[in-house]
């Protein structure tokens, strides 16, 4: 490939809202056959809102929301932002939290009024020997079957409630997936969220293959495994938890609306956070390279 032709491709990329780290990046996109997409913030807007608070039998829903809002105040996660925003709308003050700890890909924990409180995936609650009641589990299952995310909350040895948050699919994601297929690329969704919520979102945008419940540090291993199967992988993501996988992929594409860490780890940045730009980038690189052959 001649440098001039590649520079032309780079310039055209900028017009399409694609920032390319260096002209050589276009060459590595040519053989891509698989596009792995993160869910939250990539396929969806990433702006969640609280839809429901379900208190366990005999528990006070107000206290569940107050404790959850207080504990999540220290977390940057979209789930946390939704919960704290709702709690602040409802209560003028939230209790103090001590010894806050974030457990990446699982949830958060901390001390409130002498209670050790934990919020997150059912797996995290189980690690704390907190078991969801049948009624809470039913609420979780119902929410997840609709593509919503449900997190549990508990303290003092008991599961106390479930908080349901939901995010919306970006209006452009479905069209982007259709374009991936037209380009002969296989789309796969990769997420830390639970399997049924992930499948429901994937179905809304036309993705059939879903790898869910993957811890942040394990996303990179999923990319390596696909590469070991002979696939040439593009990965699209936005979060801190996607950075290692973006760097490992044959082509890393970051949402411009995402975190700096994700952008730094990537070869391309999709300025507007529109997944269709990922298809544009792959199409552009193929076209650029075929004109210079």
In the complex, which residues of this chain contact Mg ion (CB under 5 A)? 38, 40-41, 238-239
Least Å distance, CB 53 to Mg ion, is: 24
> What is the residue whose two structure tokens read 């409180």?
117
Could you tell me which stretch among 103-111, 129-137, 223-231, 281-289 binds ligand ADP (CB under 6 A)?
Answer: 103-111
Report if residue 193 touches ligand ADP, rule: CB under 6 A.
yes
Catalytic residues, by residue number, are 38
Angstrom distance (rounded) from CA 187 to CA 292 = 28
Least Å distance, CB 220 to ligand ADP, is: 13
Report if residue 82 touches ligand ADP, rule: CB under 6 A.
no
216 binds, among Mg ion, ligand ADP, none (CB under 5 to 8 A by kind): ligand ADP
Report if residue 84 touches ligand ADP, rule: CB under 6 A.
no
Alpha-carbon Rg for the chain in angstroms: 21
Q: Which residues, 6+ apart, have CB-to-CB distance to 293 below 8 Å?
A: none
In this complex, which beta carbon is closest to Mg ion, that of residue 40 or of residue 75? 40
170 binds, among Mg ion, ligand ADP, none (CB under 5 to 8 A by kind): none
Least Å distance, CB 215 to Mg ion, is: 13
Report if residue 207 touches ligand ADP, rule: CB under 6 A.
no
Distance of CA 286 to the CA centre of its chain: 28
Which single residue brings its beta carbon nearest to ligand ADP? 192
Residue 65, H or E segment: helix 61-72
Given a contact cutoff of 8 angstroms between Cβ atoms, the answer to whether 268 and 247 are in contact is no
The b-or-e profile of 201-217 (16+ CB within 10 A means b, else e) is bbebbebeebbbebebe
Report if residue 68 touches ligand ADP, rule: CB under 6 A.
no
Given a contact cutoff of 8 angstroms between Cβ atoms, the answer to whether 27 and 283 are in contact is no
Angstrom distance (rounded) from CA 83 to CA 165 = 8
In this complex, which beta carbon is closest to ligand ADP, that of residue 139 or of residue 151? 151
Applying the rule CB under 6 A, the residues between 149 and 178 that interact with ligand ADP are 149, 151
């Amino acid at each position: 490939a001649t440098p001039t032709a590649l520079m032309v491709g780079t310039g055209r990329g900028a017009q399409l809202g694609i920032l390319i780290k260096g002209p050589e990046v276009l060459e590595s996109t040519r053989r891509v056959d698989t596009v792995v997409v993160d869910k939250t913030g990539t396929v969806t807007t990433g702006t969640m809102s609280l839809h429901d608070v379900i208190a366990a039998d005999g528990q006070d829903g107000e206290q569940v929301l107050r404790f959850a809002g207080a504990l999540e105040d220290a977390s940057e996660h979209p789930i946390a932002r939704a919960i704290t925003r709702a709690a602040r709308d409802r209560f003028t003050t939230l209790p103090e939290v001590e010894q806050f700890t974030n457990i990446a890909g699982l949830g958060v924990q901390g001390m409130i009024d002498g209670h050790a409180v934990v919020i997150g995936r059912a797996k995290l609650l189980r690690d704390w020997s907190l078991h969801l009641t049948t009624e809470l589990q039913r609420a979780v299952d119902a929410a997840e079957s609709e593509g919503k995310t449900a997190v549990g909350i508990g303290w003092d040895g008991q599961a106390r409630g479930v908080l349901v948050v939901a995010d919306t699919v970006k209006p452009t994601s479905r069209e982007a997936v259709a374009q991936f297929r037209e380009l002969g690329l296989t789309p796969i969704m990769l997420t830390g969220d639970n399997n049924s919520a992930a499948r429901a979102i994937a179905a809304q945008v036309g993705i059939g293959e879903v790898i869910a419940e993957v811890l942040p540090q394990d996303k990179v291993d999923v990319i390596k495994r696909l590469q070991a199967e002979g696939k040439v992988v593009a990965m699209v993501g936005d979060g801190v938890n996607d950075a290692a996988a973006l760097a490992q992929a044959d082509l890393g594409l970051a949402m411009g609306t995402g975190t700096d860490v994700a952008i730094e780890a990537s070869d391309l940045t999709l300025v507007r956070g529109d997944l269709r730009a990922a298809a544009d980038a792959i199409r552009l690189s193929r076209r650029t390279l075929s004109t210079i052959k």
